[in-house]
Amino acid sequence: MTDSLGRRTLIAVLGWTVAIVLFFPIFWMVVTSFKSETDAITARLLFTPTLNAYRDVFARADYLSFAFNSVVVSVGGSVLALAFAIPAAYSMAFHPTHRTRGTLLWMLSTKMLPPVGVLVPIYLLFRSTGLLDTRTGLVAIYALMNLPIVVWMLFTFYKEVPREILEAGRMDGANTWGEVWHLLLPLTLPGIASTGLLSLILCWNEAFWSLNLTSSQAAPLTAFIASFSSPQGLFFAKLSAASTMAVAPILVFGWFSQKQLVQGLTFGAVK
């Protein structure tokens, strides 16, 4: 009775309706990016596709430099966060003390410190040290911003590595460095990759620090896109083209990595 044809049809219709409704804004953005500006301000679906909008966005010569900044600060921030987090997570997973739980919770609680609460001092510190509007400054901020979550995720992955493997390595004469480099890293490479991926997504999409700490030199795509919110920038096709280009790489990353993302994001709470 529960598997009647009517019920199955209902589920399929519901599922696809939800998927289409949720995806519609993205679909519409991509469609609009191929329209001419006159077609873009109408909601019609039939139009002659054109690449004009993309050409115009590229003609604003700075687009590529924004994209370059996005790549540099996202990759830089993620790599730096991983460099700090890998030893920390190793230490907590394999050499736990009675403080480990407290340290982990404390780390996560620093994420709840609202960035805006410390915006003023960071802004002033950056201004006085010349880090304002530099990629270096943004890399440092992004690494610190993601460090707690990266540590948590890696910790979760490391906890699943049988301790016997590392102990066997130590018996064979591996020191701490060898243990981490030759045993732990290869074993947990998928976990490290998905952690890095999430960090990359968070950095790529981060808007608060990038909008407030950069102006022209180091501004990533988030800042570029925000510049379209001004009235004189209101060209729907160009806006859509720029948005599509800003979102596409990370969207495709996300599609391919959703399984690993869930695994890491849930801190092992969802088995």
Partner 1 sequence: MAASAGENVMGGTAAPTVAARRPGSWLVMPSVGVLLIWMIVPLVMTVWFSFRFYNLLDPSVHGFAGLDNYTYLVTDPNFWVSLRNTMVLLVAVLVITVGLGTLLAVLFNQPFPGRNVARVLAISPFFVMPTVSALLWKNLLMHPIYGVFGVVAHTFGLQPVDWFAQYPLASVITIVSWEWLPFALLILLTAVQSLDQEQREAARMDGAGVIAQFFFITLPHLSRAISVVIMIETIFLLTIFAEIFVTTSGGPGNATTNLAFLIYSRALLQFDIGGASAGGVVAIILANIVAIFLVRSVARRLEV
Buried b (16+ CB within 10 A) or exposed e, 174-213: beeeebbeebbeebbeebbebbbbbbbbbbbbbeebbebb
Number of residues in the chain:
271
CB of 123 to partner 1, least distance (A): 7
Residue recorded with tokens 């780390």: 107
Q: Which is nearer to partner 1, 135 or 158 (CB)?
A: 158
If binding means CB under 8 A, how many residues of this protein chain bind partner 1? 100
Query: How far apart are alpha carbons 85 and 79 in whole angstroms?
Result: 10
Residues 124-183 that bind partner 1 (CB under 8 A): 124-125, 144, 147-148, 151, 175-176
Positions in 10-69 near partner 1 (CB under 8 A): 11-12, 14-16, 18-20, 22-23, 25-26, 28-29, 32, 40-43
We find the least distance from the C-beta atom of residue 47 to partner 1, in angstroms, to be 14
Site for partner 1 in 180-239 (CB under 8 A): 201, 204-205, 207-208, 211-212, 221-222, 225-226, 228-229, 234, 236, 239
Between CA 215 and CA 223 the distance in angstroms is 8
List the one residue from 6, 46, 48, 117 that touches partner 1 (CB under 8 A): 117
Among 53, 57, 73, 104, contact with partner 1 (rule: CB under 8 A) = 104
